[in-house]
Amino acid sequence: EVSTLPAGFTNTSTASDIHLSSNGKFVYVSNRGHNSIVTYQINANGTLKALNWESSRGVTPRGFTIYKDLLIVANQGSDDMYVFKVNANTGALTYTGNSYKIDGAVSLYVAEY
């Protein structure tokens, strides 16, 4: 069993979305209630190791997408989205400073044109 929440967190929270990193080394899960994205390392035997919980910077992260070296999260409760850089070596997420207001933010899709 793998928890999506850090030890000691006792408030109500549910997982919402899950994605594999572009390089296949990490798994990311959004936590509504904890307002975070957890990063898991995929071990050689296929088990997961929780590495870090990064704040979604908003309320109720619902959906997110990974596009190249970016993770973009839609926060339903605060009507916004935030952009993070994904470190391909460590899986760490770093806020880029980019955020946008989006009414009813629920899911995201990146279209190239």
CB count within 10 Å of CB 47 equals: 10
Angle at 103 between CA 102 and CA 109, to 5 degrees: 50
For the record, the structure tokens of 91 come out as 């899986």
For the record, the structure tokens of 59 come out as 């309320």
Q: What pLDDT shows up at residue 99?
A: 97
For the record, the structure tokens of 94 come out as 């770093």
The CA–CA distances, whole Å, from 68 to 49, 84, 104 equal: 23, 11, 25
Q: Is the pTM of this model over 0.95?
A: no
For the record, the structure tokens of 69 come out as 């070296």
Q: What pLDDT shows up at residue 88?
A: 96
Q: What pLDDT shows up at residue 1?
A: 82
Give the mean pLDDT per block of 10 residues along the chain (113 residues). 90 93 96 96 96 97 95 96 97 98 88 83
Q: What pLDDT shows up at residue 60?
A: 95
15-101: CATH topology = Thrombin, subunit H (2.40.10)
Please give the torsion angle defined by the CA atoms of residues 73, 28, 61 and 106, in that order, rounded to the nearest 10 degrees.
60
